Every structure is written in structure tokens, then in C-alpha cells.
Amino acid sequence: MQVEIAKLNKRFGDLDVLVNCSLTVKEGELVTLLGPSGCGKTTLLRCLAGFDLPDSGTVFVGNEDITQAPPNKRNVGLVFQSYALFPHLTVANNVGYGLTVRRVPREKRRNLVDETLALVGLQELEHRYPAQLSGGQQQRVALARALILQPKILLLDEAFNALDAKLRISMQIELRKLVKKVGITTICVTHDQIEALTISDRIAIMSEGRIDQIGNPPEIYEHPQTEFVAEFLGVANLFSRKVNNGVVQLASGLEIPTEYHGDVTVVLRPEDLCIAPEIRDKGWTGTVSYTRLLGPTIELEVVIDEQERPLRVSVARRDGSEISVGKRVNISLIDPRNTVVIPLKAKL
Amino acid sequence: MIPEVTPLDGLFGMLRKIIFRGGIWPVVPAIIFLVVFFAMPLTVLFAFGFVSIERGVVDWGTVSLDHMTSTLNDSLFWHFWWRSFWVGTVSTVFCLCLGYPVAYIYTMAGRGWQVLILVATISPLLTSALVRTYAWMVILGGRRGVVNAILLEFDLVSRPIRFLYSDFSVILGMTQIHLPFMILPLITVLSARDRSLEQVSLNLGASRVRTFFGIILPLSVPGIVAGFALVFAISYTNFIVPQLLGGGNYTTLAVQVYEFIVVILDWNKGAVLAFLLLTSCFVFVLGINYVGNWAMRWREV
């Protein structure tokens, strides 16, 4: 069902945790709230689940206003970071808990539990206790427990944190497939940009209680609207410059046309830069201070003469073989049209 | 989670690990203290039940089970045992019923209230149980007792009610005096519980009441078992409260031990009764633990 969050505000004491948060999630869409810890994303999720009540604003699920509804009257699925499986109940009883509470007859309950366990691939484990399961299995039980009630929406709170790196990626892909198969509207909370890029239809980036930008992953990565978004999702080299006659001068011979006026910030992704081992008069000159092999690419840090912040550049592994720490290099833009220019007023 | 000592090591392997890994040395002073001041006197006391003592002189040559068999065949002994047992059980159940809400409220209260509850729970322990028992005598006593005086003053009763020297006064006194020993383990277990389980339960549509009985209560069984075993053990063996609040004709097994050893000076009989009281107490505590482990079988992983 469609979720419509409108102008949500929440204060804890002197702290504004949520400031005018508005977000519409379409039916069947998977939206991730991404942001650093303390940005309010978990509070927003708790407002959806009913554990916190907003000071003002409304939350609609479908046509129903659930802003003030108690948590047990919402039918909103929830998967916690810790999974919060009931340790004294078997897998089957954990999954069937919501049905038992609703007094669903035993026979029907059994069938639904079997069906849901099959959906997450855990049929054989129904008699185990949570402590006898691996992290991935526990997560699936938590997911099954939420999905069995056919909730209107599904909420995931840092649901992949407890898994090790490799399993995390595969569970993320699996989750996305499952959620799409079920067709449920899903809102995830995470501080992990890879997770957000992996699972989301759209990402909402939050900082200091505000939603900075909402868009699909390529949109957010390629067209960040604030410095914060540019730096939080992916790596960004930022340049504060003044616009002169419709162009921004980055370095000698590197000029970018723009429609903005006054102070702007130019965002250059590491892969937008190219590196050459010989000194040229166009672009930056600097010394390689750090290299890091990331598999298919090498990430470099180059300390530029006459500039405080080092540039971060990424090159394909095969092209970077002659570059090592201490080497003098030239850096320039691959294509000036790819750069993003953020006008200063966007600095919130 | 992984046991350090596997069953394959056996008792000998376990002992060797304890001794040679140095784990045992820090507890040596405590062990020596317990052996000298606890285990040895108890052994001597128990031994008194199997020998005859003439004018304070122990005749070690006459080891027999006579005292034991005569006691076990005495119907009066079983009568007193039964009273010890049911009075202990009832007051322990009352402690649980009264203590659980206090411990639960403690975990839901703000910091200030928590301190207040903790102080109210622990401060009675700073006064002697004897003093508190006498206080109950003042409260419950005859015509001049606080309760009866009030009832008479307002003409609610025509004659003073006989609170004192009854099962009622003994159970009331025991429950009040032993309540902290129930509340403290419950607070420990309930404070450490994972609150996200309650949130999930609500999220899955359960009411708060349902969440309490379905999630919070079963997961607090360790605290219930600890408190129940502790309070039962001290209620079952308490002799001050039954003696003072039960009056001269009210006798339990523990009171009998006191009477035989201190008043009648029949150490044989006293030793046998003490032996039976302590071993049966031990068996009951083991039983409570067994039931507790059964209720927590989900932990055995």
C-alpha cells in the first residue's frame, strides 16, 4: 500500500530529531532511508511502527491515517537489527506468533506457517530454537514472522548489520527479490550506502533530521543536490569556487560551464578524473600519497600542490600499473560535462 | 557457548584442568573458610545424630541409626515437617506474587523511582529480622496491638481479632521479612531483558497483557527460580518467625531443632532433626531448579 509521510516533526528535549520530513512511497516500492547515525532515520521508522509518536505531521498508509495508532493496531511488518526473535519459542511458533495472537485456528495457522517458511526457505528448521540458527537464518525467520501477517508495509531497521560481509550482500539481493515477489511496500533504514544502492528502488538521504534528497540510486549518485549527499553516497572531491562569466575555473585549463551564479561547489567523482604519469600544463599536478587496490580498480590519493585537500582518483587496475606512492602525476577531467555543480544555497 | 571441558575429559580431566590452569587458587581462602566454619561443624552436628551422648560426653563407640528411625517413625515429626513445608511454600508464593509486580514496576520506572524502590527493598535488610518480627507482634498483638486498637476505636469490631499466634501471622511475617530476597533476583533478570522483544510482540498485534504473559513472564523464569529457591530455603528453615508470631504451641521443624538443642539439650534428637531439615531443604531446592530448567529448556543449545 502507498505510504504518505507528511511534514513529520519530532523533538527529544532540545534536539530536533525530525524536521519537516515528507516522503511518499508508492505501492510495492522499496525505499531506503540512508544517513549517518543520529540523522533521525530510525526515529522516522519508529514513528511508522508506532513506538514513537511525532509531535506534528501525518502518516498515511493507503487511505488510513495511522499517525496516532498504537503499535499493535497498525499491521505494519517490522524486522529489527537484532531480529528480536523470541528465544523461548521455536521457529514455527515465532513465525506463527502473530497468528496465535489473532486467534487463527490451529490448522490454518500451520498451513500459513509452512507456506511462509517455504517462502524464505526454512521448512526444515521449524522445530529449532532461535539460538540454534545462524545469523542469516535468524533474519529469514524475522522476515517470515513479519510477512505471515500480510502487513500493509514492511519496515527493516538496519536488518543486515549483524551479518558478515559476504552473506550480507547475498541476503540483500535475496531480500530484494523476495520483497518484489511478495509485492509489499518496503521501507529500510541503513547507514550502509552499498546496502542502499543494492536493494533500493529509491533512496532518501537524511541528515540532521531532514530528508536531503530522494531519488533512484543512479540519480542520487550522478546528481547530488547537496554537498552532504555527494559525500555520503560514494566518494566525492569537492571544490568551492566562484562562477565567472558562466564558467567555473577548477585548475589551469580546466573550466566548467554552469548556469549558476556566485558561489558554487563542484563535485568530481574519483572515476571522473584521469591520471597521467607525466607533468602537463593542463589540470592539477601532485604527488601520489596513497594507493589501495579494490579489485577491478585502484583508488589513489594525490596531494595537489597549492591545495589543502588531496584528490581521490580511481583508475582501472590495468591502467594504474605504473603509478606508485611518491610519484609525481598530472590529473585532469575525462569529460567536463559529467561534473555536478551545486549552488551555494543548497548547503543546508 | 562452547564448553571448555568436554564430557570426554571426564571428572579427572576436569579436575586436572581446574587445578593446573590455576583457576582454583583464587578461591582457596574461601574454601578453607567454608570447610573450617561451615562444613566441619555441620558434619559434627550430623554425626551427633548417629551416636549416643551421655552427660555431654560423646560415646563414639555406639554408632547406630536408632535416633533416625525413631524420629522417622514419629507421627509428630511428620506433622511438624508438613507445617514447615506448607507455611514455607505459601509464604514463598506470596513473596512471588507481591515481589514480581514491584520488580516489574522497577524496570518501567524512571531513575528517581528506581532508587526509591531499591532503597525501600533493601533498607529493611539493615535491621535485624528479630526486630522486624517483634514489630509485627506490636502491630498484630491483642487488645493493644495497632490493628486491633484501631478497629476497636472505630467500633468496627466488638472484640479484638486474634491475629497473632496463628498460621496467618506466621505467613504474614515470613512474607514481609523475606520479600527482598524475591524482589532482588527478579529485578536483576527483568532489568536485563531485551525490550525489542516486547516491541516486536506489540508490532505483531499482541496486546500489552498478552505480551506480558507470552513474552516477559516466560523469559523471566531464571529470576523466578532463583527467588523462589532462595525464599523457600529461608522460609522453610526459619525458626524465629514461627516461634514469636506462632506462639508457644506453634511448632515447625526448625523450631523443634532449636528447642531440642538449646532448651531440652537433647543433642541426639536435635542433630537428627537438623539433618532431616537441611537435607530435605536441599532436595526441595534441587527440585525447584529442576522444574526451572525444564521450563527453560529452550536455553539448552
User: Distance of alpha carbon B266 from its chain centroid, rounded?
Assistant: 27
- Verify whether the Cβ–Cβ distance B298 to A71 is below 8 Å: no
From the list A51, A73, A88, the residue facing B298 with the nearest CB is A88
- Verify whether the Cβ–Cβ distance B215 to A86 is below 8 Å: yes
| DSSP letter (8 states) at residue B216 | I
Distances (CA, A) of A100 to A123, A276, B20, B253, B257: 19, 67, 53, 48, 53
Type of residue found at B69: T
DSSP symbols for A94-146 = HHHHHHHHTT--HHHHHHHHHHHHHHTT-GGGTTS-GGGS-HHHHHHHHHHHH
**Which tens digit of pLDDT belongs to each residue from A150-206?**
999 999 998 888 888 888 888 899 889 989 988 999 999 999 888 898 899 999 999
pLDDT at B1 over 50: no
Query: What average pLDDT does range B36-49 have in this prediction?
Result: 90
* Other beta carbons less than 10 A from residue B135's beta carbon: 15
- Verify whether the Cβ–Cβ distance A131 to B298 is below 8 Å: yes
The strand order across the sheet containing A297-304 reads A273-276, A328-333, A284-293, A297-304, A311-316
State the pairing for strand pair A64-65/A3-12.
unpaired
The chain B residues in contact with chain A (CB within 8 A) are 194, 196-197, 199-208, 210, 214-215, 218-219, 296, 298-299, 301
The chain A residues in contact with chain B (CB within 8 A) are 49-51, 70-78, 80, 82, 84, 86-89, 97-98, 101-102, 129, 131-132, 145-146, 149
pLDDT at B296 over 90: no
What backbone phi and psi angles, to 5 degrees, belong to A17? -90, -40
pLDDT higher at A55 or B55: A55
**Which tens digit of pLDDT belongs to each residue from B134-164?**
999 999 887 788 888 888 888 888 888 888 8
CA-CA distance, B25 to B30, in Å (whole number)? 10
DSSP symbols for B156-211 = S-SS----SSSHHHHHHHHHHHHHHHHHHHHHHHHHTS-HHHHHHHHHTT--HHHH
Nearest CA of chain A to the CA of B222: how many Å? 12
Partners of A240 in beta bridges: A265
- Verify whether the Cβ–Cβ distance A87 to B199 is below 8 Å: no
Three cell numbers, residue B185: 533476583
ipTM value: 0.81
Q: Treating both helix axes as pointing N-terminal to C-terminal, what angle do A135-147 and A165-182 enclose, rounded to 10 degrees?
A: 20
Q: Specify whether the CB–CB gap between A176 and A146 falls below 8 A.
A: no
pLDDT at A347 over 70: no
Q: What is the largest CA-CA distance in chain A?
A: 79
Residue in chain A closest to B296 (alpha carbons) equals A88
Residues of B in contact with A80 (CB under 8 A): 196, 199-200
Residue recorded with cell 531497521: A157
From the list A70, A132, A145, the residue facing B204 with the nearest CB is A145
Domains, in order of start, for chain B = 77-300 (1.10.3720.10)
**Which tens digit of pLDDT belongs to each residue from A78-114?**
998 888 999 999 999 999 999 999 999 999 999 999 9
Residues of B in contact with A75 (CB under 8 A): 205
- Verify whether the Cβ–Cβ distance B299 to A70 is below 8 Å: no
State the pairing for strand pair A185-190/A153-157.
parallel
Q: pLDDT-derived band of residue A38, with 50, 70 and 90 as boundaries?
A: confident
